[in-house]
Amino acid sequence: MNSSDVLMYDNVKREIMDSYTNRDYKIIPDLSQDFQQLRRRKDHFVVRRKLTTCDSRDYAFQRGTTQFYIAASFGYRNLVDIRDKKWILDKKFGKVIEGPTDQPSTDEGVSSLERDVQLVIVNSNSPDPVPNVETTYECIIRKMPFDTVHKTYHIVRMEPYITPGNEHLVHHMEVFLCRDEVEEWSGNCNDPKKPKKSKSCSHVIAAWAMGEGPIHYPREAGLPIGGKGKNEYVMVEIHYNNPELHKGVMDTSGFQFYVTGLLRIYDAGIMELGLIYSDANSVPPNQKAWAMNGYCPSQCTQNLPEEGINIFASQMHAHLTGRKLWTSQYRDGVQIGDVNRDEHYSPHWQHLQQLRPMVRVMPGDTLVTTCVYDTRRRSNVTFGGYGITDEMCVNYIYYYPASEVEVCKSAISNSTLRAYFSQRHGMDGKTMKISDMYNGVKDWSNGVDEEFYNVLNVGNVNMNCLKSNGESFEFKSKDPRQGWENMARPRLFSGSFIRTRDRFQCPAINDMINFE
């Protein structure tokens, strides 16, 4: 909490003071008092300040996640060190800049829009407690309790159903629609007793992570379910994170859906952007800001509807070392804007960002999802994967009209990695596992990390351009030698759209990290 913007409030004098902490954690009054106190009560006070003040000791608020520390001292005044044990600290997360939305915020809001809404809860009924291991994936398969054989419905809202007291265990969830009729089941996703037909439960219809609220669909669109001449089944996959190895915890968490038979104008879809879950996408230790890019190239987006798609919400996700996440849009190789950006990402508070205005993506556009990781506290390679100590880089985009494209992600190609580790480190590039190659580098310092970083940013990539059934789209090219594997990464250039605060003309305490 050094080099931080601080607002002090004296409950005796009922006065505020715009302050900051220096590198030595000392609280110092700011020369420019930019906060204005609007009103005060016995249990709260209200202040106002410009989002950006161009004061080098003030924080410039941005879209995305903002972390707050609330500190209180009772019976002690004139504390000058924020590390003093007399402070009682609590960390909070929030979005200071909230975009406009036309979505209702209550259950009554949903029912006022739809007179035919049903509430469906899909949750675990497993008789077994949450395993006392760090990472567990629980799968819950349920039949939708209404006539999906003859009629199509729209899901207009989805939200988590978390067992009270277990909020710390449920890290994230995904909801899949099953192509086949599957028997109902609850249990570990890796249990050999899991129904074989559950492999057909591959069409992602929702994703949620710790800290998020409901998923609202715009008034003109809904997620379709039913009408295919068969019963519809959904599978909820829960990622339990239990680092303290608690025993005997019973959980009935899951998802709840608001479903209507009054169909909206458009069918909506969800698409997964970012990095493939693979040890190819791994991060060396002791890195302050290691960026990795996941590509959704024009060869894949050409499968979108001719009129394009409208992205109305975005949900970005990484694990413990993720610090910054964003997705940018390119047309004809030139950057034209961002889909979503979070400069202060936290795995402990994640959220679905409603996009207003919506982002229009046309066939042939390229989407690049970037995740920046901080591994300075790790002495070993952080592998790409599913575990909480592994890393991932995902952006779930919610959009309409629906298309067949469900996954559009990349990984540095195995060919690129094998060539690098073989030529630079003398490893067996033909038979060694990718993870063993990473672990075979004992010292990433002395320019080794910089050299490898360059390889990641110029080397070829493997692509996942997948339909909801898991099949790849046909790779359309005049060159028969080209395909989704080991393909050249897109050639991209920054555009003139970027509107950012000039840190030299308009300084902020955000920039102090550059002087540490």
Q: Kindly report, residue by residue over 460-469, the tens digit of the pLDDT.
A: 999 999 998 8
If asked whether residues 116 and 211 sit together in one domain, one would say: yes
If asked whether residues 388 and 449 sit together in one domain, one would say: yes
Write the DSSP string, 371-386.
EEE--TT-SS-B-BSS
Domain of residue 202, CATH code: 2.60.120.310
- CB–CB of 342/64 below 8 Å? yes
If asked whether residues 417 and 484 sit together in one domain, one would say: yes
If asked whether residues 92 and 205 sit together in one domain, one would say: no
If asked whether residues 348 and 263 sit together in one domain, one would say: no
If asked whether residues 108 and 88 sit together in one domain, one would say: no
- Catalytically active residues are 137, 317
What domain range is 12 assigned to? 5-98+509-515
Please indicate, yes or no, if residue 428 is contained in any of the structural domains: yes
pLDDT category of residue 401 using cuts at 50, 70 and 90: very high
- Residue 290, pLDDT score: 95
Task: Please tell me whether residue 438 adopts helix, strand or coil conformation.
Answer: helix
- Residue 449, pLDDT score: 92
Looking at every residue in the chain, the average pLDDT score rounds to 86
Please indicate, yes or no, if residue 277 is contained in any of the structural domains: no
CA–CA separation, 346 vs 322, rounded Å?
7
pLDDT tens-place string over residues 102-132:
454 444 445 445 567 888 888 888 888 999 9
Is the model more confident about 80 or about 217?
Answer: 217
If asked whether residues 303 and 378 sit together in one domain, one would say: yes
If asked whether residues 248 and 293 sit together in one domain, one would say: no
Domain total in the chain: 3
76 has a pLDDT exceeding 70 = no
If asked whether residues 77 and 188 sit together in one domain, one would say: no
CA–CA separation, 320 vs 373, rounded Å?
9
Residue 221: what are its φ and ψ, rounded to 5°? -140, 155
Contacts of range 101-110, beta carbons closer than 8 Å, 24 or more positions apart: 101/216, 101/354, 101/356, 102/218, 102/219, 103/216, 103/218, 103/354, 104/216, 110/156, 110/157, 110/258
CA–CA separation, 465 vs 474, rounded Å?
9
Q: Within 13 Å of residue 87, how many CA atoms lie on the same side as its CB? A: 17
pTM: 0.80
If asked whether residues 44 and 149 sit together in one domain, one would say: no
pLDDT category of residue 70 using cuts at 50, 70 and 90: confident
- Residue 90, pLDDT score: 64
- Residue 9, pLDDT score: 86
- Residue 102, pLDDT score: 47
Please indicate, yes or no, if residue 349 is contained in any of the structural domains: yes
DSSP lists the bridge partners of residue 153 as 225
Give the least confident one: 7-11, 103-107, 131-135, 454-458.
103-107
Please indicate, yes or no, if residue 273 is contained in any of the structural domains: no
CA–CA separation, 155 vs 259, rounded Å?
4
Is the model more confident about 431 or about 43?
Answer: 431
- Residue 214, pLDDT score: 85
If asked whether residues 427 and 321 sit together in one domain, one would say: yes
Q: Calculate what percentage of the chain has a pLDDT beyond 90.
A: 50
276 has a pLDDT exceeding 80 = yes
pLDDT tens-place string over residues 157-186:
989 999 999 988 998 888 888 988 999 999
pLDDT category of residue 484 using cuts at 50, 70 and 90: very high
If asked whether residues 184 and 262 sit together in one domain, one would say: yes
Mean pLDDT calculated for residue range 240-266: 92
